[in-house]
Chain A
Amino acid sequence: MTVHDMKHAASDSARLEAVGGRLSRVDGPAKITGAAKYAFEQQLDGLTHAVLVGATIAAGKVTAIDTRAAETAPGVLAVLTPDTIMELRGASDWFGNPPALSTYCPLAREVTFSGQHVAAVVAETFEQAVAAAALVKVWYDETPAIVDLSDGKAGDGIAIEAMTKEWGDAQAAFAEAPVRICAAYNTPREFQAAMEPHGLIARWQGDELTIWEPSQWLDGMARTYAEWFGVPFENVRLVSPYIGGGFGSKALALAHSAVAAAAAKMLGRPVKLVLNRPQNFTSYGGRAATRQTVAIGADRDGKIQSIVHRGVNETAVDGMWVEPLGSVTSIMYATPNFSSKQNVVRVNTVVPGAKRAPGENPSAFGIECAIDELAHELGIDPLEMRLINYAEQDPHTKKAWSTRQLREAFAAGAEAFGWAKRSPQPRSMRDGHQLIGWGVAAGTYPVRRAHGEAVVKILADGSVEVESSSIDMGQGTYTILAQTAAETVGVPVSQVSVKLGDSHFARAGVTGGSRLAGVMTGAVYKAAGQALDELVGLALSDPRSPFQALQANTLVVQDGRIASPRGEGPELSIAEFLSAVGRDQIEAKGDTLPVNTTPEQRYKNYTTIAMSIPHTEGDWSRYSWCAHFVEVRVDEDFGTVRVSRVVSALDSGRLYNPKLAESQWKGGIIMGIGQALLEEGIVDRRHGRIVNGNFADYMLPTNADIPDIQTISVGIPDPHSSALGGKGVGELAIVGIAPAIANAVFHATGKRVRDLPITLEKLI
């Protein structure tokens, strides 16, 4: 459990505090000073340390494991292999589908990727466990691996029918179109690369399990642990006070989590297991490598007649991941004819996973580069090209947009960037050795919605507490929930405490898909409203209440004080009032579920993603939107690309806290710069192994790579998307950055690079 007490919040201005105010992140000082204690920094008596042994082949069988030397090494408590680790039960997947197998072994007998866990050593100290793990000797019967999408053995893969989107006759319309472009766009395997590694501390007390683990989804992960060990859900407590970066990777309990929890059960002692940096590149999936072809047929005036799109993403031999590559392709532009299909190809990798805007991100790279190619082919300004083909409704569902401020984003971004001064010809702008290019691209992300709950308490001292098992991984949950509760109840933010990151609090679904703020502000708004109603009801009706004599219909609570709307009669602080009526607290649990929801449905709602609400439910199609304008400088001799300016205009609806939203947008833009220019998991094709699994060789942008970034909010409240009018923030801004940079590089150099990242050898 972690509490962020607003009493020290730097602001006393009501304008900053209200929903929509620019309150600074309340968890900031704790993080900056080092006071913030992360999940596996817990100090426990009798803590032991586990270290994993990874497979050194990408495919084959483990034929023997010699543990003798490790077992007799100093401090070693246990060496676990597939034969000696306790048997776990199979757990259902994140949709709640039951497992294919009734048992589960988190250590592999059949190896399907390099680095897969085959054994683990538990010792008194971390150093002893590391030393002993190096003594475990494993023999394999190796078989040929399929290393990546370009492997000759990979084949065409499996068609994913659910991804097919078609209307009109796309092939025929493309064939007849007077202007056609067709190109292939590739993105490599990328990693979330969070600063905080994955890991956990597991402790059993009887049949009760406590797990300290960075988590984007306490309830979902607690369910998995409960199922693995056959204990009731309530017996598992997951604690995740802070998360040092998740980016989609920390929503599931994984094989290493199972190893640690099993070891703790077997030894009867708490076990800490933290993946080392290379293991963070092989123990869970990053973004799958993708291949797309985009064909666009258009009139000579630039009006699109047809889009034909085909996509492929890699998945694992023993796991399925679909990166929806047609997601942006199908909605960004108006077209009378459309076809998108997708395959997945099994390769010997850990199963890929979610990384910021899975699907939309690579999808936008394809369509937003292709539209730029079409604009160049036709000699039309790429911004004008996008306006010519502006989708006035959702081209796929034919539903109206709930809100779509994309035209406004193009206008505001172009104005701030100075787009009108762009010289259209490639290689026409330079500064000494540097070729200058300007590029534009759009991005979008669906408004993913779900039901949520929260507890709001009004305490005897007049302060307000919010409780939720949702989490704050830096996006600002602590802060915006405090703002929501403060505004709803009518107290200063300094009187609100927010408690998050403990699965014993009010339940919460996954923090992913940019849904948390919309879900949780809605739940807190409801719970706080109920608490306020109860407070006012008590004041109007309780015989001991000083307000009872007023015979009023309602009362006003403002700045922590209760009064009648017209100011007649008494005025009391909440604390004075509660004391007068002899109550020590008011507690309300609010949720956004329908009233007749059963307990089973509630459990499913919070521990699976099966009850998410479609973004195209009912009459509306709900998305966030953005337009990115980018300037790059390319050294004409060296081929090095530096981004020198970014202006992005974004429509995330109403912003609950613009300061925090801008930070998330900038974070997405920075991650997009890394994706465009630097990031690539490089596989040794003989061994099927990532060879750059560390922070020196897996390139992430440094501060020196990032220019000033200007973000402009063009959103308006969207009542169809959330209770308070906001749309998604966290994932939106990365979508479209890579194509904007690629388009700018083309404008600078005349070279079209369609394979990310755009490294120097592709330009010299």
Chain B
Amino acid sequence: MRDFAYVRADSVEAARNAAALPGAMLLAGGTTLVDLAKCGVAEPATVIDISHIDGLNAIDVSADRAVFGALAKMSHVADNPQVKSLFPAVSEALWQAASAQLRNMATIGGNLMQRTRCPYFRDPANFPACNKRAPGSGCSAIGGVTRGHAVLGISEACIATYPGDLAVALVAFGAEVDLGERKLKVEDFFLAPGATAEREHDIRPGEVITAIEIPGSAVARRSTYVKVRDRQSYEFAAASAAVGLELEADRRTVHDIRVALGGVATKPWRVRAVEEALKGKPLDEDTVRKASELAMEGAVDHGANHYKIALAPRVIARAILKLGETA
């Protein structure tokens, strides 16, 4: 860890001003920043501690919308009774993320800024080539250990998987991130690597996430998050799916559906092809499984992550059918 200057911001305005300086990074829960600083990836010149700013940790949930202040803790949002009843997929995604200790520290705003677990990204001393860290230096992962790497949204520059769970549920339900001057769809806030793997978020110097908003909806109310991994707890997803379902009055025809994937793409991955294929269709297992396969259109593996192409549609299908059973 390199020495850095420490600044405590007492207001969002002060945080914005400080964040505009070169080499500045925001500190909220610290679960990503401290970790990345220890392994030599993050080398901030100035750390701006926003964790003491008043009023940024509110959790405000109604049938119309949920608003989470950027400093709300993951565990508090996960445990909020209204989140559980009106946005169950959000609560489930949070509960299945990280460990209890991390969820008690990590913030909702910081969660969106969580970076990939790509082992090559995280080990600069041994793997200098990484387009995320050093644009143009190459990708050490391609040709290496790729079991956890993405099959969707990848480029020749980067195949690193977006590791989070919450944002998968957020993109499924059309959530927005509040950056003060502007609001962005979470889906647009995350950027696929393309030729600029170093840009993971549409956030500009001096911008600070202040809140996340999720519109209330029938699909959000009947939703779930299914996460598959070798270890029962404290592991990133091999594949995960956030699904919301609204049925017609006949209780078997799909009126509206939302599907997003985690653990298999370079960003939280909404799969509209699956949604469109199921709208107006009866909710039977064959139809659901067949439609779920559409999620893998364009998927490309790098050997050891080939299994994700088979696994991800099964995770989607399980999530949809599970919701269907509760109809």
**Residue positions of A touching B, CB distance < 8 A:** 54, 56, 114, 127, 130-131, 134, 278, 433, 635, 637-640, 642, 677-678, 682-684, 686-687, 689, 691-692, 696-697, 699, 701-705, 757, 759-761, 764
Q: Let me know if A691 and B120 touch, CB within 8 A.
A: yes
* Residues on the A chain within 8 Å of B229, using CB: 640
Task: Report the Cα distance A517→B238, complex, angstroms.
Answer: 43
Task: Report the Cα distance A701→B235, complex, angstroms.
Answer: 10
Q: A686-B143, A702-B234 are in contact. Are A691 and B40 (CB under 8 A)?
A: no
* B228 CB within 8 Å of chain A: yes
Q: Let me know if A702 and B232 touch, CB within 8 A.
A: yes
Q: Select which of A640, A682, A696, A705 is within 8 A of B228 by beta carbon.
A: A640
* B1 CB within 8 Å of chain A: yes
Query: Would you give 21 A-B contacts (Cβ < 8 Å), ordered by A?
Result: A56-B126, A114-B126, A127-B3, A134-B2, A278-B123, A433-B318, A637-B317, A638-B314, A640-B229, A682-B147, A687-B144, A696-B236, A699-B230, A701-B231, A702-B231, A760-B228, A760-B307, A761-B147, A761-B307, A761-B311, A764-B307
Most buried by A among B120, B143, B230: B230
Q: How far is the CB of A631 from chain B (nearest CB, A)?
A: 15
* Residues on the A chain within 8 Å of B120, using CB: 691
* Residues on the A chain within 8 Å of B45, using CB: none
* Residues on the B chain within 8 Å of A696, using CB: 117, 234, 236
Q: A637-B314, A692-B119 are in contact. Are A684 and B144 (CB under 8 A)?
A: yes
* Residues on the B chain within 8 Å of A54, using CB: 125
Q: How far is the CB of A180 from chain B (nearest CB, A)?
A: 33
Q: Select which of B143, B144, B238, B310 is within 8 A of A691 by beta carbon.
A: B144
Q: How far is the CB of A147 from chain B (nearest CB, A)?
A: 12
* B145 CB within 8 Å of chain A: yes
Q: Let me know if B125 and A638 touch, CB within 8 A.
A: no
Q: Let me know if A682 and B145 touch, CB within 8 A.
A: yes
Q: Let me know if A705 and B231 touch, CB within 8 A.
A: yes
Task: Report the Cα distance A477→B131, complex, angstroms.
Answer: 53
- Interface bits B143-169 vs A (CB < 8 Å: 1, else 0): 111010000000000000000000000
Task: Report the Cα distance A629→B59, complex, angstroms.
Answer: 48
Chain B's closest residue to A692 (CB) is B119
Given A689-B126, A761-B147, 18 additional A-B pairs, CB 8 A: A56-B126, A131-B2, A131-B3, A278-B123, A640-B228, A640-B230, A678-B231, A684-B144, A686-B143, A687-B126, A687-B144, A692-B119, A696-B236, A697-B117, A701-B231, A702-B234, A704-B232, A761-B307
Q: Select which of A127, A278, A701, A760 is within 8 A of B238 by beta carbon.
A: A760
Q: How far is the CB of A19 from chain B (nearest CB, A)?
A: 39
Task: Report the Cα distance A7→B38, complex, angstroms.
Answer: 44
* B315 CB within 8 Å of chain A: yes
* B233 CB within 8 Å of chain A: yes
Task: Report the Cα distance A701→B125, complex, angstroms.
Answer: 29
* Residues on the A chain within 8 Å of B143, using CB: 686
Q: Let me know if B230 and A691 touch, CB within 8 A.
A: no
Task: Report the Cα distance A678→B28, complex, angstroms.
Answer: 32
Task: Report the Cα distance A691→B130, complex, angstroms.
Answer: 15
Q: How far is the CB of B107 from chain A (nearest CB, A)?
A: 19
Q: Let me know if A677 and B3 touch, CB within 8 A.
A: no
Category for how many chain B residues contact A: 20 to 34
Q: A686-B144, A760-B238, A760-B307 are in contact. Are A130 and B228 (CB under 8 A)?
A: no
B residues 118-144 in Cβ contact with A at 8 Å: 119-120, 123, 125-127, 143-144
Task: Report the Cα distance A705→B230, complex, angstroms.
Answer: 10
Q: How far is the CB of B92 from chain A (nearest CB, A)?
A: 15
Q: Select which of A114, A691, A757 is within 8 A of B145 by beta carbon.
A: A691
Most buried by A among B1, B117, B232, B314: B232
Task: Report the Cα distance A642→B229, complex, angstroms.
Answer: 11
Q: How far is the CB of B149 from chain A (nearest CB, A)?
A: 12
Chain B's closest residue to A635 (CB) is B228
Q: Select which of A127, A638, A692 is within 8 A of B315 by beta carbon.
A: A638
Task: Report the Cα distance A198→B165, complex, angstroms.
Answer: 34
Q: Let me know if B126 and A699 touch, CB within 8 A.
A: no
Chain A's closest residue to B120 (CB) is A691
- Interface bits B307-324 vs A (CB < 8 Å: 1, else 0): 100110011011000000
Task: Report the Cα distance A131→B2, complex, angstroms.
Answer: 6
* Residues on the A chain within 8 Å of B234, using CB: 696, 702
Q: Let me know if A134 and B230 touch, CB within 8 A.
A: no
Task: Report the Cα distance A689→B145, complex, angstroms.
Answer: 10
B residues 265-320 in Cβ contact with A at 8 Å: 306-307, 310-311, 314-315, 317-318
Q: A640-B228, A692-B119 are in contact. Are A56 and B125 (CB under 8 A)?
A: yes
Task: Report the Cα distance A723→B119, complex, angstroms.
Answer: 51
Q: Let me know if A642 and B232 touch, CB within 8 A.
A: yes
* Residues on the A chain within 8 Å of B307, using CB: 760-761, 764
Q: A678-B230, A761-B307 are in contact. Are A131 and B145 (CB under 8 A)?
A: no
Task: Report the Cα distance A639→B318, complex, angstroms.
Answer: 13
Task: Give the top 9 A-B pairs by smallest Cβ distance, nearest first.
Answer: A761-B307, A704-B232, A704-B233, A691-B119, A637-B314, A702-B233, A705-B232, A638-B228, A56-B126
* Residues on the B chain within 8 Å of A692, using CB: 119, 145
Chain A's closest residue to B143 (CB) is A686
* Residues on the B chain within 8 Å of A638, using CB: 228, 311, 314-315, 318
Q: Select which of A114, A127, A677, A684 is within 8 A of B230 by beta carbon.
A: A677
* Residues on the A chain within 8 Å of B306, using CB: 761
Task: Report the Cα distance A553→B58, complex, angstroms.
Answer: 82
Q: How far is the CB of A758 from chain B (nearest CB, A)?
A: 9
- Interface bits B174-195 vs A (CB < 8 Å: 1, else 0): 0000000000000000000000
Chain A's closest residue to B144 (CB) is A684
Q: How far is the CB of A724 from chain B (nearest CB, A)?
A: 40
Q: Let me know if A134 and B119 touch, CB within 8 A.
A: no
Q: Let me know if A691 and B123 touch, CB within 8 A.
A: yes
Q: How far is the CB of B72 from chain A (nearest CB, A)?
A: 24
Task: Report the Cα distance A764→B310, complex, angstroms.
Answer: 8
* Residues on the A chain within 8 Å of B117, using CB: 696-697
Chain B's closest residue to A57 (CB) is B126
Q: A433-B318, A638-B311 are in contact. Are A699 and B123 (CB under 8 A)?
A: no
- Interface bits B210-237 vs A (CB < 8 Å: 1, else 0): 0000000000000000001111111110
Task: Report the Cα distance A56→B120, complex, angstroms.
Answer: 13
Chain B's closest residue to A433 (CB) is B318
Task: Report the Cα distance A373→B317, complex, angstroms.
Answer: 34
Q: How far is the CB of A421 from chain B (nearest CB, A)?
A: 26
* Residues on the A chain within 8 Å of B230, using CB: 640, 677-678, 699, 757, 759-760
Q: Select which of A678, A684, A760 is within 8 A of B311 by beta carbon.
A: A760
* Residues on the B chain within 8 Å of A757, using CB: 230
Q: How far is the CB of A709 from chain B (nearest CB, A)?
A: 15
Task: Report the Cα distance A682→B145, complex, angstroms.
Answer: 8
* Residues on the B chain within 8 Å of A433, using CB: 318
Q: How far is the CB of B291 from chain A (nearest CB, A)?
A: 15
Task: Report the Cα distance A397→B40, complex, angstroms.
Answer: 56
Q: Let me know if A697 and B311 touch, CB within 8 A.
A: no
Q: Let me know if B3 and A684 touch, CB within 8 A.
A: no
Task: Report the Cα distance A127→B117, complex, angstroms.
Answer: 25
Q: How far is the CB of A674 from chain B (nearest CB, A)?
A: 9
* Residues on the B chain within 8 Å of A760, using CB: 228, 230, 238, 307, 311
* Residues on the A chain within 8 Å of B2, using CB: 131, 134
Q: How far is the CB of B254 from chain A (nearest CB, A)?
A: 21
* Residues on the A chain within 8 Å of B310, using CB: 764
Task: Report the Cα distance A68→B125, complex, angstroms.
Answer: 19
Q: Select which of A56, A134, A697, A704 is within 8 A of B40 by beta carbon.
A: A134
Task: Report the Cα distance A642→B127, complex, angstroms.
Answer: 35
Chain A's closest residue to B148 (CB) is A697
Task: Report the Cα distance A286→B245, complex, angstroms.
Answer: 48
Task: Report the Cα distance A536→B249, complex, angstroms.
Answer: 92
Q: A56-B125, A637-B318 are in contact. Are A130 and B144 (CB under 8 A)?
A: no
Task: Report the Cα distance A522→B116, complex, angstroms.
Answer: 55
B residues 1-27 in Cβ contact with A at 8 Å: 1-3
Q: Let me know if B231 and A699 touch, CB within 8 A.
A: yes
Q: How far is the CB of B300 from chain A (nearest CB, A)?
A: 17
